[in-house]
Structure 1
Amino acid sequence: MAPTGEDGADSPWEDVSDGTLVGRAADGDVAAFETLVRRHAPMMRAFAARMLGSVSAADDVVQDSFLIAWRQLPTLHDPAAVKAWLMKITSRQALSCLRGRPFDRAVPERECAVPPELQPESVVIRNAQLRALAAALEAVSEDQRQCWLLREVAGLSYEQIAEELRIRPSAVRGKLARARASIYARMEGWR
C-alpha cells in the first residue's frame, strides 16, 4: 500500500469500518485515529457550530472532544457506536461551553459556508432556507432547541438526550414534539 499522505487521501484506513478503526486506535494506532477524525470531524464541527453560533468556538469544542476521545477510547464498550459516542462528547463539550457564557450575551447568527461549486441561484435559495431554519430554531425555547439539535443533528436517542440534559425521556419527547411543531409551522413556506 502507498504511504499515507498528509491529506490522508492514500490512507489504507479510509475503507475500514469504524469498529475496526476504534480497535486499532485503542491499541495506539495514530493513523487509525486520524481516519476517525477525518471521517467524523465535519459533522461534529457543524453540530457544535449550530449549538454555539460560532465556528471558532466549534473548532475548539471539536478539538477538545477528540482529545477526550483519544484518552477515553479504551473505555468505549461498543466500537461500532463510535459516531454516537463522539457526538455525545461533542454535545457535552458544547453544553459546557454554553454554560460558561454570560447569560446576557446573545449568540450571534452565522451564515453556513456553502461549497463554491454550487450555482449562485442554489446558493441564494439554500441560504434563505438556512436563515429560515435558524429563525425557526431561535423561536423555540433553549431546552427545546437543545433537544432538537441533539436528536436531529447529532442523532442521539431519546434516552441519550435525557441523560445529556439531565431530564426524563418523557420530557425529551414533549420538548421535541413542541420544537418540531413550531419549526414545522415556521417552515411551512419551504415545503
Structure 2
Amino acid sequence: MTSLDSAADGLLAERAADGDERAFAVLVRRHAPFLIAFATRLIGSRAEADDCVQDALIVAWQRMDSLQEPARVRAWLATIVSRKATDRLRGRRDLVDIDEQEQADPAADPADRAETSIRLDALSRAVERLPDDLRRTWVLREIVGHSYEEIAEVMEESTSTVRGRLARARRQLAQELEGWR
C-alpha cells in the first residue's frame, strides 16, 4: 500500500489536477465500483455501464483542473457518469436490450406483455421529453432510488431544488401519461 492509497480524496484530486497519474489511479480504484454500480442502475446494462464509466473517467482526467471542490470529487465523477449515461440512453431509444429479452417471462400472456411493453415505451418517450435536469432528477430518484440528499450531491444542487425538479417531472409525466390510467 502506497502513501497515496490512504490519502484523502481532496488531496488526490488536487494532485491529479496537477497531472499526477498515480493519484488519479487511486481515485479510480477507490470510486470505480460505486460509479459502475451507479451507471448500471441508470442504464440497466453492466456492459454499457462499464463503457459509460470508462468514457466518464477519460473526461474526468481531461478536466480535473476544472474541479472546483476537490473534496467532492466523488459527486463530480458521479455527475459526469450521469451525463454519459443520459447520452447513452438517448442513443439507444430504439434498441432492445438483450438482457431484458432474457428476463421476459415466456409463460406470460402475450397480450399482457404487449400492453406492458406499450406502456413502458410510452413512459420511456415521456421521460426522454423531460428537460435534462428534470429527467436526471427523476431517474436518480425513481430508477436509482437515491435520496433527495444524494441527488443534491450528485447534481450539485440544494435539496429544495431537487424536490422542486422532481415535483415538476412527476407532474409533467402524469400529464403526458393521462390516457394510460
| Shift in CA distance, 107/46, structure 1 to aligned 2, threshold 3 Å | farther
Q: Percent of counterpart pairs with the same letter?
A: 36
- CA-to-aligned-CA distance 1:127-181 (integer Å, 9 cap, x gap): xxxxxxxxxxx8xx5548513156618923089288xxxx9851314658xxxxx
Tell which has more relative contact order, 1 or 2 (C-alpha 8 A, sep 6+): 2
Choose between structure 1 and 2: higher helix proportion: 2
- What TM-score do you get using the length of structure 1 for normalisation? 0.60
Unpaired stretches in structure 1, ≥5 consecutive residues: 1-9, 111-137, 177-191
Q: Which residue does the alignment assign to 1:56?
A: 47
Quote the Cα distance in structure 1 between the aligned partners of 2:166 and 2:145: 10
Q: Which residue does the alignment assign to 2:11?
A: 20
Q: Which residue does the alignment assign to 1:157?
A: 152
Does structure 1 conserve the Cα–Cα contact (< 8 Å) formed by 2:140 and 2:151? no
Q: Which residue does the alignment assign to 1:171?
A: 165
| Shift in CA distance, 158/18, structure 1 to aligned 2, threshold 3 Å | closer
Q: Does 1:80 align with 2:58?
A: no
Does structure 1 conserve the Cα–Cα contact (< 8 Å) formed by 2:79 and 2:154? no
- What TM-score do you get using the length of structure 2 for normalisation? 0.63
Quote the Cα distance in structure 2 between the aligned partners of 1:174 and 1:158: 19
- CA-to-aligned-CA distance 1:77-133 (integer Å, 9 cap, x gap): 1101111100000000001000000336357349xxxxxxxxxxxxxxxxxxxxxxx
Quote the Cα distance in structure 1 between the aligned partners of 2:67 and 2:145: 21
Determine which of 54, 57, 62 is the counterpart of 1:66.
57
Q: Following superposition, which runs of at least 4 residues in structure 1 exceed 3 angstroms of deviation?
A: 106-110, 141-145, 173-176
